[in-house]
Amino acid sequence: MSKAIHQGRNVKRFREMLGLKQEGLAYELGEEWSQKRVSLLEQKEVIEQELLEQVAQVLKVPAEAIKNFDEETAIYNIQNNYDTTYNDTASNNSNGQHNQYTFNPIDKIIELYERLLNSEKEKNQLLQKLLEEQK
């Protein structure tokens, strides 16, 4: 039995990782959006595909990330794939060899966070430039 992914909660998680307030996301989504509408969106368990793609584009993350991200599973995977104190019998594959991980899951999360942070910096620079041009 698979656990349902709460897509609205995932939108909130990614938005918060970017340091973006609901008002900021509403602004990026367009005139018909407000803080209240973003709040309602973040309460929805399932978001329509077209809207999900629009939000993902603004947040600069794949729509599939919002659709499929499960915090509990991510934490479980990080704990169980990064734990260097695992016992040898559990880490041996059917050939008796150790599994070799080619990436560190924490590094991948940090990499994603840094990409999101850089994206937000770019947005802020663009908004600053637009504000200066309007003066």
The percentage of residues in the chain with a pLDDT greater than 90, rounded to a whole number, is 36
User: Cα–Cα distance between 95 and 97 in angstroms, integer?
Assistant: 5
pLDDT at residue 2, as a whole number:
58
User: Which residues, other chains included, contact 55 with Cβ-Cβ below 8 Å and sequence gap of 6+?
Assistant: 11, 25, 29, 41, 47, 66
Residue 24 pLDDT class (50, 70, 90 cuts): very high
pLDDT at 78: 64
What pLDDT is recorded for position 49?
95
Confidence of residue 22 (pLDDT cuts 50, 70, 90): very high
Range of lowest pLDDT (4-8, 107-111, 127-131): 107-111
The structural domains of the chain, ordered by start, are: 7-134 (1.10.260)
The interaxial angle of helices 35-43 and 22-29, nearest 10 deg, is: 100
Arithmetic mean of pLDDT over the chain: 80
Q: Give the model confidence (pLDDT) of 55-108 as tens digits.
A: 999 998 889 888 888 777 666 666 676 555 444 444 445 555 555 556 666 777
